[in-house]
C-alpha cells in the first residue's frame, strides 16, 4: 500500500511539475493529494517528512541558509543532515529504513519561502551515523538513461560505473532544478508576461537566456534572462528577432517585407522598433552588456 501510494505521489508531482514549470507551492504540498480515500501530504513541519500512516519518510527538504548543512557535493551526491544529533531519532531511523530497503524519496529544495524545486526518485546510497548525515542520488533505472550502462559506453568501463552513472544523473537533475528555479525567478521579475507582446499565460511563457546556457557566461540569473512567450522565444533563438541594448525589438529585415497572415503582421512586423517591458527593479533588468553580445550575434546571423 505504501509503495503504491509513493508511486502515486511521484505521478502527482509530475503532473504539477508539467503545469508549473517544475516549481511547487508549499500549500499544494502540505495539502497533498487523495489516494484511495486517504490524504497524502508531501511536506510537513519537519525536513524529513513521514506522512500519516507511513512507515518510511516520503520526502526530505532543504532550505538554503537554513540550520542544516545540506546540498549536493561537487560529484553530484546529495548530502542530507540528520534531524538533530541523535542517530536514533525517529526521523533518522526512517531514513535508515529507506536506505536498507531501497525506498525512494522526494527531495525538495526551497528556492524562496513557500516555493520549491524537486527531484525524485532519490535513493539513499550511504548512511553516515558518525557524520549525522546520509548521501543520496537519483536512481538510474527510473530516469531513462539505462543505455549509459551498455558496454560501448565509457561509463561502463569505469570501475565504479554504477556510482558514476548515478552521479551523472544527479548532476542532470540538479541542472534541471536550477532551470526550474531560473524560470520561476525570471517570470516573477517580469510579472509573468512576455516582455515583447505582454502575453500573460504562464503555460505559454519561457525564461529565455540572453547569453545561451551553453556559453560560459550563460548563467541562470535574472539579468541574463528574458520572459518570452514560446513563439517569441523561438524567434529570439532563431535570430528572427533581436533585442538591442536600448531595449528595442528588431525584426529580421526579410520578414518585414513578407506578406502573410495575422501572426506575422501582429506578432512580428508591428512590434519592430517597440521597446520591451522590463522589470522595475534595477537588479532584475536585462544586462545591457549581455544584450549587446547577443544583438551582435543577431545582426551577423
Give the residues lining the site for Zn ion (CB under 5 A): 194, 196-197, 199, 229, 232
Least distance from C-beta 247 to Zn ion, angstroms? 15
Grid cell, residue 199, equals 502575453
Q: How many residues does the chain have?
A: 301
Least distance from C-beta 267 to Zn ion, angstroms? 7
Its sign, for the CA torsion 15, 19, 23, 24, is negative
Residue with cell 568501463: 157
Which uninterrupted H or E stretch holds 295?
A: helix 288-299
Least distance from C-beta 258 to Zn ion, angstroms? 19
> In the complex with Zn ion, which residue's Cβ is closer, 48 or 199?
199
Q: Are 40 and 9 within 8 A, CB to CB?
A: yes
> In the complex with Zn ion, which residue's Cβ is closer, 111 or 196?
196
Least distance from C-beta 196 to Zn ion, angstroms? 5
> In the complex with Zn ion, which residue's Cβ is closer, 79 or 183?
183
Residues 6+ apart with CB under 8 A from 98: 56, 57, 104, 105, 124
Alpha-carbon span 12 to 6, nearest angstrom: 10
> In the complex with Zn ion, which residue's Cβ is closer, 136 or 199?
199
Alpha-carbon span 131 to 126, nearest angstrom: 11
Grid cell, residue 225, equals 534572462
C-alpha distances (whole Å) from 292 to each of 248, 279, 289 are 11, 18, 5
Least distance from C-beta 231 to Zn ion, angstroms? 6
> In the complex with Zn ion, which residue's Cβ is closer, 137 or 196?
196
Alpha-carbon span 48 to 62, nearest angstrom: 9
> In the complex with Zn ion, which residue's Cβ is closer, 29 or 196?
196
Least distance from C-beta 249 to Zn ion, angstroms? 10
Amino acid at each position: 500500500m505504501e509503495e503504491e501510494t509513493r508511486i502515486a505521489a511521484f505521478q502527482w508531482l509530475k503532473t504539477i511539475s508539467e503545469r508549473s514549470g517544475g516549481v511547487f507551492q508549499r500549500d499544494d504540498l502540505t495539502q497533498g493529494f487523495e489516494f484511495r480515500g486517504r490524504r497524502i501530504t508531501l511536506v510537513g513541519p519537519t525536513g524529513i517528512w513521514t506522512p500519516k500512516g507511513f512507515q518510511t519518510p516520503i520526502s526530505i527538504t532543504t532550505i538554503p541558509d537554513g540550520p542544516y548543512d545540506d546540498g549536493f557535493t561537487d560529484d553530484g551526491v546529495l548530502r542530507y543532515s540528520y534531524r538533530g544529533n541523535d542517530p536514533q531519532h525517529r526521523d533518522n531511523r526512517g531514513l535508515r529504513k529507506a536506505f536498507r530497503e531501497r525506498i525512494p524519496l522526494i527531495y525538495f529544495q526551497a528556492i524562496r519561502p513557500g516555493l520549491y524545486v524537486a527531484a525524485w526518485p532519490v535513493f539513499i546510497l550511504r548512511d553516515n551515523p558518525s557524520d549525522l548525515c546520509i548521501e543520496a542520488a537519483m536512481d538510474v533505472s527510473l530516469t531513462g538513461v539505462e543505455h549509459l550502462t551498455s558496454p560501448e559506453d565509457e561509463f561502463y568501463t569505469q570501475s565504479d560505473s554504477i556510482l558514476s552513472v548515478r552521479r551523472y544523473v544527479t548532476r542532470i537533475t540538479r541542472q534541471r532544478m536550477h532551470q526550474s528555479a531560473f524560470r520561476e525567478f525570471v517570470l516573477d521579475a517580469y510579472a509573468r508576461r512576455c516582455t515583447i507582446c505582454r502575453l500573460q499565460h504562464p503555460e505559454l511563457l519561457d525564461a529565455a537566456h540572453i547569453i545561451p546556457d551553453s556559453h560560459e557566461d550563460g548563467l541562470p540569473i535574472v539579468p541574463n534572462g528574458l520572459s518570452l512567450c514560446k513563439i517569441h522565444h523561438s524567434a529570439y533563438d532563431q535570430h528572427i528577432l533581436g533585442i538591442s541594448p536600448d531595449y528595442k525589438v528588431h525584426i529580421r529585415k526579410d520578414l518585414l517585407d513578407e506578406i502573410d497572415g495575422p501572426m506575422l503582421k501582429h506578432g512580428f512586423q508591428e512590434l519592430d522598433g517597440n521597446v520591451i517591458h522590463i522589470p522595475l527593479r534595477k537588479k532584475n533588468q536585462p544586462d545591457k552588456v549581455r544584450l549587446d553580445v547577443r544583438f551582435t550575434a543577431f545582426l551577423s546571423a
